[in-house]
Chains A and B, each alone.
Chain A
Amino acid sequence: MMILNALKKFFGLNAEKSEAETSSLRRSFQDHYRSFRSLLTANNIALELMAEMEETFGAGQSFSMAFVRGHCTALTVNIYKMVQHLHELSNGKYGGLTGAFNSISVSIEEILARQPKIAGGKFVLPLAEVDIHSTEQAGGKMANLGEIRNRVGLKVPDGFVITAAATKHFIDSNNLQDEINRRLKLLDHSDLEELYTTSASIQQLITNAPLPEDLERLIIDQYEELARRSNSRVLVSMRSSALGEDSSNISFAGQYRTQLNVTDDMLGLTYKEIVASKYKSQAIVYRMQRGFRHQDVIMCVGCLAMVDGVVSGVMYSRSPRDPRSDWIVINAAPGLASQVVDGRAVTDMFRVSRNSPHEVLARELRVQKTASLSDRQAAELAGIAVRLEEHFGLPQDIEWSIDSTGRIIILQSRPLAQAAPVEESGMESIEVDETQPYLLGGGVSASAGVACGPVHIVRSNIDLLQFPEGAVLVVAHPLPEWATILNRAVAVVSETGHVTAHLATVSREFGIPAIFGIAHATEKLKNAEMITVDALGRRIYEGRRDDLLKNAPPPSNLMAGSPVYKLLEEVLRLITPLNLTNPASPYFMPSSCETFHDLTRFCHEKAVTEMFSFSSRYGFDEKGAKQLVGDIPLQWWVINLEDGFREGLDMKDKWVRIDDIVSLPMLAIWEGMTAVPWKGPPPVNLKGFGSVLFQSTMNPSLDPAVRSSMASKSYFLISRNFCNLSVRLGYHFSLAEAHLSDLLTENYVSFQFKGGAADENRRFIRVNLISEILEKYDFRVEQKADALTARIEKKPAPFLIERLKVLGYLLIHTRQIDMVMEEQDMVDNYRKSILADLEKIVKPEKENMP
């Protein structure tokens, strides 16, 4: 080579200079192409991430902070790459991009890093100083109890609250938070065994940490005060009162620990155990399902003198199934209230009128022959329920006890978790087709709905670990800890329990049908047996019953309004809106980029333009546009980016034939374009034609004289695996792009379609039709007025090739049909003929999916 060069130099051949120049240009072009390819891959990943975020946000499925943080991080990385690659491609022409990128990223980082505020510095507060305004210090439950004592004037147990500031002090002085966060971040929520291990290890970490001395002193002092007021060394109950429990549709029922009969020497340890119970497995799952960040929930602990309950229970100020009901539901059993809420105790049920004098409308005695409550007591309780609902402005779920002196003491009141009122009437009036054979029936409808799945009987935690996704949970008692798997169960069946059990509350919140009190369910149902549970009808049927399932209400969005949901909403505002839609606009520039989507749009557009204009900028004919010749419809130009032409083609030619093309995606589009000959423009009615003329005068961008050089012709930019096709046919503009390779991460097909000659309405109808067809062929379609974008990512090349044929076909055959898109039967005709053609062109799924 050196000798050859020397010889050339010797003979003074000036061809030598141009050859060096050519090879340098070739190298430079290769560099550009490499950056371009990398930019497209990053673009593909970024767009997929954004689509996943939007879909998750819209679909009402549960998602965690880890999901939000993970997606934001992956997006940042890929958009960073796009910006870098565009800098390489354009020799730093768009300097403002880095600034725009940094400012958007930092704004998102700030939202993600936000910490909850902790109000007030006091570590302990006597209940006498607590009311609804103390929620941020004392947690929702204790703030409510203080409110009931101090503002409503009802009797509650005496006691005090260990505040959020105290818990923060405890956690901080032992440096626990970072370690807890580390363990949680590594947790795979779908692995139950891991969930239990992590939950146990975090709880142990907390209970093993020493209590700061100042805090311990304050707790003891408060206890001494309480003992002095009670004139005895009282036993206390210690209850969680977490911040974040105040939301009306969110109960946190039974998630955390409550400890009864605590003696003064156990105060410190029990406090730590309750703080640690924030990380119980069911609490971790619950927060995840309902969209709470772990850091947003801060434990406060109430310390209350024990009540010697003679009879206790739970009451609802209205039916949980119907907020308009005019009766109160009271469940009562002899002894302490905790037995009623944890679902174990057999209870008497009373239905009491909301109107004074609160007549008992119905009673179901299940404990003994005599009622556990007298009518007078039931009426008095009902009066309290109405008072509390009026005070708090929402239906209430109230825990109460009646002590040995006959006084009613309120232990807790919180907003009642409501199931969607699916039926006008209460449960008794539900019609059940009695002629239908069923496996089991009876009990109470703890949460309405119909669901179908295989039986999975759970007797211990080991059975829980094997719980399959989508099974029916069948248990002897509705214990609160079963809530850990409510996110994978489709229904709950329990032999005991009532609507007031915590598990019932959580089932209603999650929208999972539940029947409690079906005797012998764990014996009569067999594991893996398929059943349909009709909770409202209180029947269990054999097999799958589509006739019942079709009446089931759609699942509600558990996340809506939750902190994580709001956070994602806020973050998405900086990610998905697209402001840069028109590349011809003077505002199409880096400083106009307000979102990540804008950045991807800008980078992609400019990258294509850079590749397109390379040859003209550097006078590099080899990479210039060649016109496609042969027996082909319309006019097309082709720019070879890399290996899109067959080997041996003379690069100096100004023409190229379709046989010279080896670009897989271009050939696929071409196949779709030419598979069915175009029948020519549709017969236009005068109105449609008139609308075209009108549009031409109104819309300057339709005037051929003002088109930019790139938009004025139809171009293929190709390599063996890549194709970018921009089409200007008549009055509409479209863009198809694809990359096909053996790596799924790089694979995609995208399509943009805009404009048309007819009036807005006709264009809109046409875009609708195209949308519909693309969706049928697995595209994810977004439509704004008469503009449409469609994408498919990360599918195998053979699958994408068939989709490219669809695009090719549509590009040719939907031209000008906007003119006739007025009569519905016309639209139907086009749809029918397009779908029939496509059926012939596109290979069916089985052949092209691996």
Chain B
Amino acid sequence: MSDRFNILLVDDEKDFLEITTKRLMRRGYNVRNATTCSEALLIIEGDWPEVIVLDVMLPDRDGIECLKEIKRKRPSSIVILLTGHASMQAGRQSMEYGANDYCLKPIELDELIEKIEIAYREKAKTRDISD
């Protein structure tokens, strides 16, 4: 596995957030979480997370709008959308707005970690080259 990078989980489902945060931390990742888009944007300003796992339905903003905002503020962010609502259109749009992946709930933790690792590796290689 890659070095343990920082992950921001954004989801308004408290149970999911709590359990996933705990489990990811147990696997050695640094994890913080947010329940709204504005909260997430604040954490991003601190330039902290490397990977953002973002729910598509947030109380204060549509997840895809939130994705746009994140990419506008910090284009290098790695964003994985996670949603219980499978929609081809939302999937396509998310990718067009720069998401690195679009995954469906329920998702096994191991699968989520693989998605995060793959997105991180794909991105990390670019950084090596451009730095």
- Residue numbers of A with Cβ under 8 A of B are 27, 30-31, 34, 37-38, 41, 66, 69-70, 72-74, 76-77, 80-81, 84, 105, 108-109, 112, 182, 185-186, 188, 742-746
A105-B88, A112-B88 known; A27-B129 Cβ under 8 A:
yes
Residues in chain A near residue B117, CB distance under 8 A? 743
Contact B118 A743 (CB under 8 A): yes
Task: Give the size of the chain B interface in residues (CB under 8 angstroms).
Answer: 28
B109 at the interface (CB under 8 A from A): no
Which of A69, A77, A84, A105 has most chain B Cβ within 10 Å?
A77
A69-B86, A73-B102, A109-B88 known; A744-B95 Cβ under 8 A:
no
* Partner pick for A81 among B87, B88, B95, CB 8 A cutoff: B95
Residues in chain B near residue A745, CB distance under 8 A? 111, 114-115, 118
Q: Report B115 CB to chain A, min CB distance, Å.
A: 7
Q: How far is the CA of A186 from the CA of B101 in the complex (A)?
A: 20
Which of A76, A80, A84, A108 has most chain B Cβ within 10 Å?
A76
Contact A185 B84 (CB under 8 A): yes
Q: Mark B60-79, 1 if CB is under 8 A from A, else 0.
A: 00000000000000000000
B1 at the interface (CB under 8 A from A): yes
Q: How far is the CA of A425 from the CA of B32 in the complex (A)?
A: 69
Residues in chain A near residue B125, CB distance under 8 A? 30, 34
Residues in chain B near residue A72, CB distance under 8 A? 86, 88
B122 at the interface (CB under 8 A from A): yes
* Partner pick for A746 among B92, B104, B118, CB 8 A cutoff: B118
Contact B118 A742 (CB under 8 A): no
Chain B contact residues, majority secondary structure: helix
Contact B129 A30 (CB under 8 A): yes
Residues in chain A near residue B94, CB distance under 8 A? 77
Closest residue of A by beta carbon distance from B104: A70
* Known pairs A109-B88, A743-B117 / 5 extra A-B pairs, C-beta < 8 Å: A30-B129, A38-B122, A73-B91, A185-B85, A742-B1
Contact A77 B115 (CB under 8 A): no
Contact B106 A109 (CB under 8 A): no
Q: How far is the CA of A652 from the CA of B117 in the complex (A)?
A: 35
Q: Report B3 CB to chain A, min CB distance, Å.
A: 14
Closest residue of A by beta carbon distance from B84: A186
- Residue numbers of B with Cβ under 8 A of A are 1, 84-92, 94-96, 101-106, 111, 114-115, 117-118, 122, 125-126, 129
Q: How far is the CA of A319 from the CA of B17 in the complex (A)?
A: 56
Closest residue of B by beta carbon distance from A80: B95
Residues in chain A near residue B85, CB distance under 8 A? 182, 185
Q: How far is the CA of A69 from the CA of B89 in the complex (A)?
A: 11
Contact A76 B118 (CB under 8 A): no
Q: How far is the CA of A73 from the CA of B95 in the complex (A)?
A: 12
Contact B91 A34 (CB under 8 A): no
Contact A66 B86 (CB under 8 A): yes
Closest residue of A by beta carbon distance from B115: A745
Q: How far is the CA of A746 from the CA of B1 in the complex (A)?
A: 13
Q: Report A720 CB to chain B, min CB distance, Å.
A: 14
Residues in chain A near residue B111, CB distance under 8 A? 745
Residues in chain A near residue B103, CB distance under 8 A? 74
| 29 A-B pairs whose Cβ atoms sit less than 8 Å apart in the complex | A30-B129, A31-B129, A34-B125, A38-B122, A69-B86, A73-B86, A73-B90, A73-B91, A73-B104, A74-B86, A74-B91, A74-B102, A74-B103, A74-B104, A76-B92, A77-B91, A80-B92, A80-B96, A84-B95, A105-B88, A108-B88, A109-B89, A112-B88, A185-B84, A185-B85, A743-B118, A745-B111, A745-B118, A746-B118
Q: Report B69 CB to chain A, min CB distance, Å.
A: 21
Residues in chain A near residue B92, CB distance under 8 A? 76-77, 80, 105
Contact B95 A69 (CB under 8 A): no
A34-B122, A34-B126 known; A69-B102 Cβ under 8 A:
no
Closest residue of B by beta carbon distance from A70: B86
Q: How far is the CA of A37 from the CA of B115 in the complex (A)?
A: 14
Contact B106 A76 (CB under 8 A): no
Residues in chain B near residue A70, CB distance under 8 A? 86, 104
Contact B88 A73 (CB under 8 A): yes
Residues in chain B near residue A37, CB distance under 8 A? 122
Which of A30, A31, A73, A182 has most chain B Cβ within 10 Å?
A73
Residues in chain B near residue A30, CB distance under 8 A? 125, 129
Residues in chain A near residue B89, CB distance under 8 A? 109
Closest residue of A by beta carbon distance from B95: A80
Closest residue of B by beta carbon distance from A30: B129
Residues in chain A near residue B1, CB distance under 8 A? 742
Q: How far is the CA of A218 from the CA of B129 in the complex (A)?
A: 73
Residues in chain A near residue B115, CB distance under 8 A? 745
Contact B118 A41 (CB under 8 A): yes
Q: How far is the CA of A69 from the CA of B83 in the complex (A)?
A: 13
Closest residue of A by beta carbon distance from B90: A73
Which of B103, B115, B122 has most chain A Cβ within 10 Å?
B122
Residues in chain A near residue B102, CB distance under 8 A? 73-74, 77
